[in-house]
Amino acid sequence: MASSPARSVATDFLLRFVGVQLVALILAVILVLSGYSVVARQYVRSQAIQFMDVMLSVREYTSRKINPIIAPINAVSDEAFLPSAVPSYSATKVFEYLRLNHAYEDFQYREASLNPTSPADLADEQEAQLIRRFMANPSLKELSGSLDSKSDHHQYFVAKPIRLTKESCLTCHSTPDRAPRSQIRVYGETGGFGWQVGDVVGAQIVTLPEDAGLPAPGRFALLLVAAVGGLSAAVVLAVNRIFSSVVFRPLFKLLQSVDKGYEDENLEKRPDEFGLLARRFKDLRH
């Protein structure tokens, strides 16, 4: 029998290899997870911005296509005010219908103002802060961040200023005597007036869950560890097989032939280092 060494090269190599793999796996998980939270935030933010852009288009559509049809009716009617002429109303209504689809039920859309026409649009403390920042800094185009929330479902918001850019807005938002009488009957004459072209009159605010449409980081980490860990285990097994057939088995045969003093022709015919060693041992023995 060939005497076995106290330590085997193969086991030594494999142990080190597994160690390196483990460190690489841990590093990969940390790196991918931190990258994931950046990408997730970017994704959620882009969803919020898409919503806002769609709502801006709804507003635009109402201003251009619906208001010219309804405004004359509202102007002469003392009856109930037809809110379909109001861009803000149509945007919030469209969003309301969107939320009936339960994929969006956690989403929120607000058109908040410090001086609102509809009391429901009165800005709360956090919204008021955003609006004041937009008012103070005309070059500020967007604000976003996490919302202080009591629930453990974290919310993310993106806000953009609503700037009054059209003369047509002034019909209803300059002075109560210019506004349709039916509007005054419904909304009163205390809020939503005194606005001027160029003013920041409020803010569009989309609020959505921080992980909207994405697997939670915990589940993602588990998937990642399973995938990368499985792959690492497969690599270790494959390397083990290759290493033992390429190095360990011929080495063992060589050791045996030297120990027992017989010549192994197959080994001597090998073109590699084992063949060379087998031939050298044969020469030495001779």
Residues that bind ligand HEC (CB under 6 A): 63, 67, 71, 74, 83, 85-89, 92, 111, 113, 116-118, 121, 162, 164, 166, 168-169, 171-173, 183, 187, 192, 201-202
CA 46 to chain centre: 8
Of 14 and 71, CB closest to ligand HEC: 71
Of 21 and 118, CB closest to ligand HEC: 118
Closest contact distance (angstroms) between CB of 35 and ligand HEC is: 38
Of 45 and 173, CB closest to ligand HEC: 173
Q: What are residue 208's DSSP bridge partners?
A: 156
Residue 145's contacts (CB-CB under 8 Å, 6 or more residues apart) are: 156, 157
- Where b means 16+ CB within 10 Å and e means fewer, 24-52 reads ebeeeeeeeeeebeeebbeebbebbeebb
Q: How many CB atoms are located within 10 Å of the residue 144 CB?
A: 17
Give the three-state DSSP class for 56. helix
Closest contact distance (angstroms) between CB of 107 and ligand HEC is: 18
> Using CA atoms, how far apart are residues 94 and 47, in angstroms rounded to an integer?
16
Closest contact distance (angstroms) between CB of 110 and ligand HEC is: 9
Closest contact distance (angstroms) between CB of 42 and ligand HEC is: 28
Give the three-state DSSP class for 166. coil
Of 160 and 173, CB closest to ligand HEC: 173
Of 185 and 253, CB closest to ligand HEC: 185
Of 89 and 134, CB closest to ligand HEC: 89
CB-facing half-sphere around the CA of 229: CA atoms within 13 A: 8
Of 32 and 170, CB closest to ligand HEC: 170
CA 159 to chain centre: 17
**Degrees to nearest 5, angle at CA 33 with 144 and 212:** 45
Of 21 and 74, CB closest to ligand HEC: 74
**Degrees to nearest 5, angle at CA 107 with 102 and 109:** 130
CA distance readout (Å), 170 to 13, 71, 90:
79, 13, 18
Closest contact distance (angstroms) between CB of 172 and ligand HEC is: 3
Tokens (6 digits) for 25: 């796996």
User: Is the distance from CB of 249 to CB of 10 less than 8 angstroms?
Assistant: no
Q: Which residue from 39, 25, 26 is spatially nearest to 215, judged by alpha carbons?
A: 39
